[in-house]
Amino acid sequence: MDRYDGFHEFVVARGGALSRTAFLLTGEHHAAEDLVQSALAKAALRWRWLVEHTQPEAYIRRIMINEQISWWRRRPARPVAQVPERAGPDEPAQVVERLALGQALATLTPRQRAVVVLRFYEDLSEADTAELMGCSVGTVKSQTHLALGHLRRALPRFAEQAGEYADSGAAVALARRRRTGRTVAAALLAVPMLAGLLWYAVRGPDTVPPPVATTPSGIPTPAKALPALPPRLDENATIERLPGDRGIGPAVLQVHDRGVQPGSGTLLVTVDGHHYEVAPPKAGYVSTPALSPDGRWLTWSTATSRVVRDLTGTEVRELPPTSNAPLWSPGGDWFLLPAQAGKGEILFHLPDWTPRELAPVSSWDRVTKVVLDSGELLRSAGSPTATAVPLEVVDPVTGAARALTVDVAGRLGQGESLYKWSILSAPGSSAGLEVVGVSAQGSAQVVGVLQFSTADGRVLRRITVPADGLAFPLCFRGGDLLWTDLATIRRAQVPEGMEVLMTHDLMNGVEPAGCGRSAQLESMVP
């Protein structure tokens, strides 16, 4: 099968429909043509895969939506088509309706406009719209509600314009009454709104999301699902170079120093099973690449900057350089850039990367270990004892620190201790302490993890490694704690046992997204 087999026929058959959708998304003929051409060009590169594994038209429509949102965010100076002075063959009333509707649609954001087009022009269900836009059904409902509200408020503003061409006195009167009502309401609300804005400016944006759900046992559940790992690595997969002009979608894991192809850069495996090689920069890495827990962001450090690449698009951010590894919150909504010389840490809120510079920490034993899903920082607060671990939880908005003590009495066995202040990030308001003991082979090894609440320090559960083999913890991924025996990656089950998630070659340093540890011996030995 030729890689472009059927592509020409598809364009001839569905090009017109795609162009109409593009016009509704952009509101301008020339931009619509550019949007369709760009989407088709990207689809042509993967046409054979699209035909075999997905619905090509749905995939292309999704490219169009994402591309239009990206164009809108960049907001370049784009020429727009001029409205002709003469109406043409349309009736005057139809011309007025088109003008009014076009101006009303122009008040919507690209995401709101896309929802309106898909739901009411394409006649898609809420579920199909959510799938096509890559969001939840709840997001589709909320965006539809906002879009319709904007349209209801916008259309009366054009009623006076309609009155110039048609008998629409009632509409003009209604528009004037609504404007008068809005003016009075705005005057009445001005004082409390100004007070609220002043409070917001002083306090800063709210950084605490809705509370994370918990199970009946009190163990937090993840705020959002993360993509599953593949059952094994495909050694015969075609490896492409990571493109700079398009997104590849989120990645589920990366492979360092791949044994079957020595000398290659970091290898990414995406949700759809594709393999992409990330070529190292000319000056080399200061720190190796790392994936965010949701697999959307890839970050690495050079001598001049900390680079962050959006794998679902083409956005690349350059942040201040750092040799220490950054920290992600378990859900991937927060990114902490380590402190620089004489400067404090910088906490970013995603997806808009809103920065918040934190005050430098003066004490050497106050080190940030974990960024919680709430955006709060979990820091060490002194030396641990045999029965208690002192910590503190820091509010990044106010800088206030709340003391927290984890009571580990009765949770450690004979000869066990806590390993080097090693704290694992976990979902919700929780984290994990690694427990070191003696393995079945007689060597020092992490033999368990104590998951505790960051609200009150209470130990929620102990996850123990089976003592009959080699095993090391990787990270919490979602609600599961991942372990490796260097040949497999396993999921710890409660109350006991481990389920194999994937197998891999011993020569591969396999690192699931968000872990920060790869399944290699040198990264596990205490």
Mean pLDDT (whole number) for 133-142? 78
Residue 258's pLDDT band (boundaries 50, 70, 90)?
Answer: very low
Highest mean pLDDT among 105-119, 152-166, 361-375: 361-375
pLDDT at 309: 93
Taking the C-alpha atoms of residue 463 and residue 455, their distance in angstroms, rounded to an integer, is 20
Average pLDDT, the chain: 75
pLDDT in tens, 359-391: 887 776 688 999 998 899 999 888 888 788 999
Label residue 32 by pLDDT band (50, 70, 90).
Answer: confident
514: pLDDT strictly greater than 50: yes
Average pLDDT over residues 158-172: 42
Q: Are 396 and 347 spatial neighbours (Cβ–Cβ below 8 Å)?
A: yes
Which residue's entry shows tokens 């054979």?
Answer: 48
pLDDT at residue 384, as a whole number? 81
Name which residue leads in pLDDT, 499 or 279: 279
If 0-12 CB within 10 Å is exposed, 13-18 middle and 19+ buried, where does residue 509 land? Answer: buried
| 185 compared with 497, residue with greater pLDDT | 497
Buried b / exposed e along 248-278 (16+ C-beta atoms within 10 A): bbbbbbbbbbbeeeeebbbbbbbeeebbbbb
Lookup: tokens for 376: 């709060």
State the pLDDT at residue 93: 52
What pLDDT digit, counting tens, does each position of 36-57 carry? 888 888 888 888 888 877 788 8
pLDDT band at 126 (very low <50, low <70, confident <90, very high): confident
CATH (one of 2.120.10, 3.30.429, 2.60.120, 1.20.1050) for 239-523: 2.120.10
Angle at 255 between CA 250 and CA 258, to 5 degrees: 145
Q: Are residues 110 and 25 in contact, defined by beta-carbon separation less than 8 angstroms?
A: yes
Give dist(CA 448, CA 8) in Å, integer. Answer: 58
Between 424-428, 437-441, 489-493, the lowest mean confidence (pLDDT) is in 437-441
> What was the pLDDT predicted at 181?
55
- pLDDT-derived band at 394 (thresholds 50, 70, 90) equals very high
Q: Compute the average pLDDT of residues 518-522.
A: 56
Q: Where do the DSSP E strands lie in 235-305?
A: 239-241, 251-256, 266-270, 275-278, 287-291, 297-301
- Choose the weakest-confidence range: 183-187, 331-335, 383-387: 183-187
- To the question of pTM greater than 0.75 for the whole model, the response is no
- Assign 91 a pLDDT band (cuts: 50, 70, 90): low
Q: Which of 175-184, 318-327, 363-372 comes out lowest in average pLDDT? A: 175-184
Q: How confident is the model at residue 393 (pLDDT cuts 50, 70, 90)?
A: very high
**For position 206, what pLDDT does the model report?**
43
Percent of the chain with pLDDT strictly greater than 90 = 13
Q: Which two tokens stand for residue 439?
A: 């393995």
Query: Which of 8-12, 90-94, 165-169, 182-186 has the highest average model confidence (pLDDT)?
Result: 8-12
Among the residue ranges 86-90, 361-365, 501-505, the one predicted with the least confidence is 86-90
Q: Is residue 262 predicted with pLDDT exceeding 50?
A: no
Q: Where are the domains of the chain?
A: 7-203, 239-523
- Highest average pLDDT, of 99-103, 300-304, 356-360, 402-406, comes from 402-406
Is 1.10.10.10 the CATH number for 7-203? yes
Higher pLDDT among residues 283 and 526, named by residue: 283
Q: Is residue 191 very low, low, confident or very high in pLDDT (cuts 50, 70, 90)?
A: very low
For residue 141, pLDDT over 50 is answered with yes
Amino acid 459: pLDDT = 92
Strand segments, DSSP code E, in 322-469 are 327-328, 334-337, 346-349, 354-357, 368-371, 377-380, 388-394, 401-407, 417-425, 430-438, 444-453, 459-464
- Long-range pairs for 104-110 at CB < 8 Å and ≥24 separation? 104/150, 104/151, 104/154, 104/155, 104/158, 105/24, 105/27, 105/151, 106/27, 107/150, 107/151, 107/154, 108/147, 108/150, 108/151, 109/72, 110/25, 110/65, 110/68, 110/69, 110/72
Q: Which pLDDT does position 81 carry in this prediction?
A: 47
Nearest Cα to Cα of residue 115 among 145, 78, 83, 86 = 145
Residue 259 has pLDDT above 80, yes or no: no
pLDDT digits (tens, 9 = 90+) for 456-479: 999 998 888 766 666 788 888 877
pLDDT for 127: 82
Fold agreement between 7-203 and 239-523: no
Span 124-138, average pLDDT: 79
